[in-house]
Structure 1
């Protein structure tokens, strides 16, 4: 399995555009991963458009899919990736699935992007938060929340970098080996600051990276970030600094290409991530941003 990693990705799906599984699957495949996808929702497009229509997968549907995989011996994975989940009952069923998959492969790495909200606002039901806190965190090996999600998960208000590291330590204490805060407002007008920490036993490796701000709003970047981090942590044998640099540098290349292609058009359609056009950047990222170790 080390030479043939296989990911089960459970998150949203859109027919048109690039968020959720549409944002994660192609990059993972380019980087050598087999990807099996379960779509927590299937919408015509992301919610930034004027019309959104589609279906929501129930926990019974998830049971049916997971049961079929199990009966056919198709439930051995090197990684599990989860993103947007919109119902508390579905998230609880995911927790049961994590336990099962780890019983099949004790070395499975669970990468959780706890998609709950941003900019001070939750966009999932409140009852998902205690499930993330009490059930998901102890199961997750790698977690990639944004600043607002970290505050929700830890009850630590982040006003400065010291607060952020305190919150990261809380997440470690819950069982998460690797914590990457994908974006914070602790930078300045030019950049966002991301923080990462990897704890193995008593040893902790920490790093930060400055993410240049671009003059646009994008959708699907968190989904892409989590998928890229999963890939590079595997490919670098958990080298945190290098994985962070490759993830952020790839993301910057995709976003700059998207922005350039839009030519000033800020509509949802024009700002869809240019993943296909960024194939070479995803496969062979040029490191344009360096991470700094924290000692």
Structure 2
């Protein structure tokens, strides 16, 4: 188990190596994470694992799935520039193959060897309520047993948390118990998204952040949409705000305010692609919309 990024040791401008998918049309993976991070004033080094025409939720797409060896070559080229030690964090999302996961973990090892203060933020993309697991067989177990233990920060949704912990989360107490199981694997910071249980008010949704410093929750209205890419934006924003503020509670408030504004704009536009550009001012300067409160059990 490794220590949490030191609260208070903040970084004004973060440099992030983001290893994720990319799409030409729409916003998922790096195509969802890079712009919000840049809008906040951070440096992002996007490494692409696929380059598709659009996200796979449309049912049809074109473009290449990049070979793990090719992704490793790109990272090696960054290493050749002698700048891996400048990275403050590595960010990853969907990992469709253990071989790609191995490339990502190798990059994490290299970045941390060059900069021991760097952190790894893993969004363990595997599935969701109503859809079940949507990754290849074996990937969930690989994420749980190999990837998550190497992460400093993980951002599962409630469904993914239950798989990682191997238990239900039907109450605040059960959710925190599940988070403790995951934190026992290695990550010190856990952000749980899309939280719904009997204690969440009707028409609402919770986001819960847990660290060595405590546990906090933000409650937002539940909007009647669930677009692709929202989780990718959430992970990127939480990582950036955690590193720049040093406060999980503040990072939670900023992240919830920004992503809710993005989702509001998406609902108003009536599109299936998240409205990052329309909501960019709220990303750059999150409004004070939701207060993080100690998570009571």
When the two structures are superposed, what TM-score results if normalisation uses the length of structure 1? 0.91
- Structure 1 residues not aligned, in runs of 5+: 263-269
* CA shift digits 1:177-225 (9 cap, x unpaired): 10111122222431112221111xxxx4111111211122311110010
Equivalent residues of 1:113, 1:143 under 8 A apart: yes
Equivalent residues in 2 for 1:166-181, closer than 5 Å: 166-181=177-192
Equivalent residues of 2:120, 2:153 under 8 A apart: yes
Q: 2:120 aligns with which of 90, 110, 113?
A: 110
Structure 1 vs Structure 2 CA RMSD: 1.6
Name whichever of 124-133 and 81-90 sits farther off.
124-133
Distance in 1, Cα, partners of 2:168 & 2:225: 27
Distance in 2, Cα, partners of 1:135 & 1:3: 31
Distance in 2, Cα, partners of 1:135 & 1:84: 14
Distance in 2, Cα, partners of 1:293 & 1:64: 44
Q: Structure 1 segments of 4 or more deviating over 6 A?
A: none
Equivalent residues of 2:27, 2:229 under 8 A apart: yes
Q: 2:83 aligns with which of 70, 74, 78?
A: 74
Q: Which residue of 1 aligns with 2:272?
A: 271
Q: 1:157 aligns with which of 139, 152, 168?
A: 168
Distance in 2, Cα, partners of 1:4 & 1:257: 27
Q: 1:191 aligns with which of 204, 209, 222?
A: 204
Equivalent residues in 2 for 1:100-249, closer than 5 Å: 100-119=110-129, 121-186=132-197, 187-199=200-212, 204-237=213-246, 239-249=247-257
* CA shift digits 1:53-107 (9 cap, x unpaired): 1111222112211222212213231111101111111112211221111101101
Q: Which residue of 1 aligns with 2:266?
A: 258
SS across alignment from 1:253:
helix
Equivalent residues of 1:7, 1:34 under 8 A apart: yes
Please state how far the C-alpha of 1:3 moved relative to its aligned partner: 4.2
Number of residue pairs matched by the alignment: 283
Distance in 2, Cα, partners of 1:142 & 1:133: 14
Distance in 2, Cα, partners of 1:129 & 1:217: 21
Please state how far the C-alpha of 1:134 moved relative to its aligned partner: 2.5
Distance in 2, Cα, partners of 1:45 & 1:73: 33
1:57 aligned onto 2:66: yes
Q: Mark the CA change 1:292 to 1:3 in structure 2 (over 3 Å): closer, same or farther.
A: closer
Larger RCO (CA within 8 A; separation ≥ 6):
2
- Structure 2 residues not aligned, in runs of 5+: 1-9
Distance in 2, Cα, partners of 1:99 & 1:29: 25
Please state how far the C-alpha of 1:39 moved relative to its aligned partner: 1.4
SS across alignment from 1:86:
coil
When the two structures are superposed, what TM-score results if normalisation uses the length of structure 2? 0.91
Distance in 1, Cα, partners of 2:17 & 2:63: 22
* CA shift digits 1:101-154 (9 cap, x unpaired): 110110101111000111151111122223222222222111100011111111
Q: Mark the CA change 1:206 to 1:157 in structure 2 (over 3 Å): closer, same or farther.
A: same
Q: Mark the CA change 1:217 to 1:129 in structure 2 (over 3 Å): closer, same or farther.
A: closer
